């Protein structure tokens, strides 16, 4: 046909109408065949589509499309986040030891120190308190801790997503960190196994360990471990240590307000400690009480009662004289049982009633007169006839100074050492009625004087001791020999090294108050050694005894006749001599005063048939007091303590003061001791020394002037009784004085 020519081309023509359709002419409609018609129908169909449809599709479906895209990307990011977290967990978990090797580390061992009646003196060790079972604690303690630290503790699996989310929201809204998201289990895991550093690795490991704890232990076991190990400030770990530190009571006995204060400390133990900031601690306790009410643990009435209680005022340090005893115990333990590897119970010889009374007496005496007399410190030690320490005060206030002046400080005892000189003289045959001449004495280049610089002429040894005459003590020490005085002092209980010279008569060798007091005890108990000791028994928590002292059968160290004579002489110190302020009503007592150069130290050591007690007053820096002698503040404090210690007891006399008189035959004290079977080694110079030979330092004339009775002993040293117009002093005397 003419219309279908082989060279004819059909060109599409694009118009500018809004439908972007195709334009064809009539010839194309006739001869274009199916292809053109189809294109025309397609363009027509596009023109019939609704307007704007493609624009809506181009915008992604509006709000719902955006939501779909967000949901999609959240899923994608969540999957990748889970993969990332899982990778971190696997990585940090792989750096930890195998879970099969995980074990709860042992709690550091605690040493519970008990008085004779079973009351607790102190807990010592890294924690400062023993571990308690959950049912032993005051029920308010776990309630308060759960309410403020982990309300969902009994419901979560070690990690609390809800609690974490709540904490994050609270912190975001407040603009600061006010809540933590860690559970009690996580805190326990951190305390048991991890360092306190804040790193991603530590946090991941904390979560893994918390899950392990929850799998292996019950909730109550986890809570018990937490409460017995968590830090409460002021070096107190665990609720028992904290309760005793802040309230001076056991965690078994704390009330609601105290439990709230303990729980409040967990947020910031050091900052909120009632020892540091009691107001802040009390404010935090109020917050804890509110949390407990919200959780239904307590009622409004209970809160009102708790708030009406007087806030606790904790001292800045462990306070109380009994802690000097605790320190003494801890110093001695390693030498008795070696390294402390488990919980121990130490039974001591301390009577807490006497301990508290001793502390009160020392504090009251210093408060009343210490300031005006420039006496800042004091110490007291009281022991029984076996050497058991019944009370010990190492200083004015343990909270201010933990140095134990009773057992660790060594000072000159002054004239309190003279009883050992007199006892040594009695052992070589002198008697209380032996006469010596109180007059200026020259021993080599030394001329000792009496405290009052007066001389009394002829006096008996009993009078000389009662009035603490230095000249007579100096004569006796040279008659006996300084080395033999030292031996006797060591035999009776002095452990410190002493110099065997003439000046030892006036107590120039330093000793501790405890050893000096224990060396007086043989005068009290009839002549037996009284080794000072404070530990009776050491046992484990399950009752296994590791140590028990063996001081029940002490050796005899002094002849009963000598004891009798010494007691008769030292009773006169209190009745007629320098220790009158120490006299006790109804009780027979004996003792000796002591004062050192320039009134630096003042002591009184005395005893009844029940107790031997030593008291010291002075200053740590060695400064002089204002004319304080052993017969002053020490005698007064000794009196006040001993009156309280003997209240309610039936009075009994001292050994050898009622109807027992010493008998000396030609063999002297040694023969009498052996004849009586008192257990001495016959002829042993360690027990009963012979008179020393005369040397160039001291000339003794053994001839007697006419009229002097036989048995009065050898003549006093040369130089005694020389007429002098003035009192002679030497440089040595300036270093020595008697009380």
Distance CA 3, CA 11 (A): 16
Active-site residue identified among 149, 206, 515, 588: 149
Spatial contact of 251 and 240, defined as CB atoms under 8 Å apart: yes
Residues in the chain: 739
Q: What is the largest CA-CA distance in the chain?
A: 192
Alpha-helical runs (H) found in 266-401: 278-294, 300-308, 322-337, 352-365
CA–CA gap between residue 397 and residue 154 (Å, rounded): 45
Q: Are strands 590-595 and 601-607 parallel, antiparallel or unpaired?
A: antiparallel
Number of H helices, E strands in the chain: 24, 16
Q: Find the catalytic residue in 182, 415, 509, 512.
A: 415
Cα–Cα dist 252/139, whole Å: 9
Contact (CB, 8 A) for 454 and 475: no
Angle at 419 between CA 418 and CA 420, to 5 degrees: 90
Instruction: List, in order, residues 6 or more apart from 580 with CB less than 8 Å away.
Output: 574, 631, 635
Q: Which run of H or of E encompasses 63?
A: helix 62-94
How far from each other are the two terminal CA atoms of the chain, in whole angstroms? 160
CA distance 597 to 736: 6
- Per the DSSP assignment, residues forming a β-bridge with 605 are 592, 614
415 is catalytic: yes
Q: What is the DSSP letter of 74?
A: H
DSSP reduced 3-state for 595? strand
User: Distance (Å, rounded) from C-alpha 631 to C-alpha 581?
Assistant: 7
3-state SS, residue 603: strand
Chain-centroid distance of CA 147 in Å reads 32
Q: Which of 383, 576, 413 is nearest to 498 (CA)?
A: 413
Residue 438 DSSP code: E
The answer to whether residue 42 is catalytic is no
Catalytic residue positions, numbered? 149, 415
């Amino acid at each position: 046909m003419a219309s279908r020519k082989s060279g004819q081309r059909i060109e599409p023509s694009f118009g500018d109408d809004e439908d972007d359709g195709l334009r064809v002419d009539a010839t194309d409609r006739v001869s274009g065949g199916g292809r053109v018609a189809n294109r025309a129908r397609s363009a027509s169909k596009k023109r019939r589509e609704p307007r704007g449809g493609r624009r809506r599709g181009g915008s992604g479906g509006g709000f719902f499309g955006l939501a779909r895209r967000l949901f999609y990307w959240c899923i994608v990011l969540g999957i990748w986040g889970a993969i990332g977290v899982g990778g971190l967990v696997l990585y940090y978990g792989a750096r930890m030891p195998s879970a099969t090797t995980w074990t709860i580390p042992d709690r550091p061992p605690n040493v519970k120190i008990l008085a004779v009646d079973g009351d607790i003196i102190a807990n010592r060790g890294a924690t400062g308190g023993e571990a308690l079972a959950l049912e032993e604690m005051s029920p308010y303690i776990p309630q308060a801790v759960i309410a403020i630290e982990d309300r969902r503790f009994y419901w979560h699996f070690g990690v609390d997503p809800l609690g974490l989310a709540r904490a994050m929201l609270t912190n975001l809204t407040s603009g600061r960190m006010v809540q933590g998201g860690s559970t009690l289990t996580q805190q326990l895991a951190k305390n048991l196994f991890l360092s306190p550093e804040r790193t991603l690795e530590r946090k991941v490991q904390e979560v893994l360990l918390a899950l392990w704890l929850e799998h292996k232990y019950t909730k109550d076991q986890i809570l018990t471990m937490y409460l017995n190990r968590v830090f409460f400030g002021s070096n107190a770990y665990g609720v028992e240590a904290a309760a005793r530190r802040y309230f001076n009571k056991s965690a078994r006995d704390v009330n609601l307000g105290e439990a709230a204060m303990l729980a409040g400390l967990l947020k910031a133990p050091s900052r909120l400690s009632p020892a540091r900031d009691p107001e802040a601690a009390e404010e935090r306790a109020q917050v804890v009480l509110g949390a407990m009410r919200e959780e239904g643990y307590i009622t409004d009435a209970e809160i009102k009662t708790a708030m009406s209680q007087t806030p606790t005022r904790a001292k800045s340090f462990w306070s109380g004289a009994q802690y000097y005893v605790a320190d003494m115990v801890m110093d001695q333990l390693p030498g008795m049982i070696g390294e402390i590897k488990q919980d121990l119970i130490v039974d001591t010889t301390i009577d807490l009633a006497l301990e508290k009374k001793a502390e009160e007496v020392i504090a009251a005496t210093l408060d009343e007169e210490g300031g005006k007399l420039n006496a800042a410190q004091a110490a007291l030690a009281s022991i029984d006839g076996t050497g058991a320490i019944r009370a010990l005060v190492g200083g004015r206030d343990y909270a201010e100074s933990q140095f134990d002046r009773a057992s660790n400080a060594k000072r000159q005892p002054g004239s309190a050492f003279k009883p050992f000189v007199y006892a040594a003289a009695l052992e070589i045959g002198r008697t209380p009625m032996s006469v010596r001449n109180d007059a200026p004495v020259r021993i080599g280049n030394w001329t000792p004087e009496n405290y009052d610089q007066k001389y009394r002429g002829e006096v008996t040894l009993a009078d000389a001791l009662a009035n603490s005459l230095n000249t007579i003590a100096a004569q006796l020490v040279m008659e006996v020999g300084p080395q033999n005085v030292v031996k006797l002092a060591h035999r009776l209980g002095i452990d410190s090294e002493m110099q065997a010279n003439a000046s030892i008569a006036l107590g120039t060798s330093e000793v501790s108050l405890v050893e000096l007091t224990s060396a007086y005890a043989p005068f009290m108990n009839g002549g037996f050694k009284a080794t000072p000791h404070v530990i009776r028994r050491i046992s484990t928590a399950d009752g296994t005894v590791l140590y028990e002292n063996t001081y029940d059968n002490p050796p005899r160290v002094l002849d009963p006749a000598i004891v009798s004579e010494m007691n008769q002489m030292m009773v006169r110190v209190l009745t007629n001599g320098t220790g009158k302020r120490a006299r006790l009503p109804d009780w027979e007592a004996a003792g000796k005063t002591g004062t050192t150069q320039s009134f630096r130290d003042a002591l009184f050591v005395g005893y009844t048939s029940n107790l031997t007690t030593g008291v010291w007053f002075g200053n740590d820096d060695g400064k002089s007091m204002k004319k304080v002698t052993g017969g002053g503040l020490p005698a007064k404090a000794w009196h006040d303590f001993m009156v309280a210690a003997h209240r309610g007891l039936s009075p009994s006399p001292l050994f050898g003061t009622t109807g027992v008189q010493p008998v000396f035959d030609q063999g002297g004290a040694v023969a009498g001791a052996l004849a009586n079977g008192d257990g001495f080694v016959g002829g042993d110079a360690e027990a009963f020394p012979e008179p020393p030979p005369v040397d160039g330092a001291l000339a003794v004339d053994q001839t007697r002037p006419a009229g002097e009775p036989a048995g009065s002993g050898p003549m006093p040293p040369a130089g005694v009784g020389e007429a002098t117009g003035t009192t002679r002093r030497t440089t040595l005397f300036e270093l020595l004085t008697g009380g």
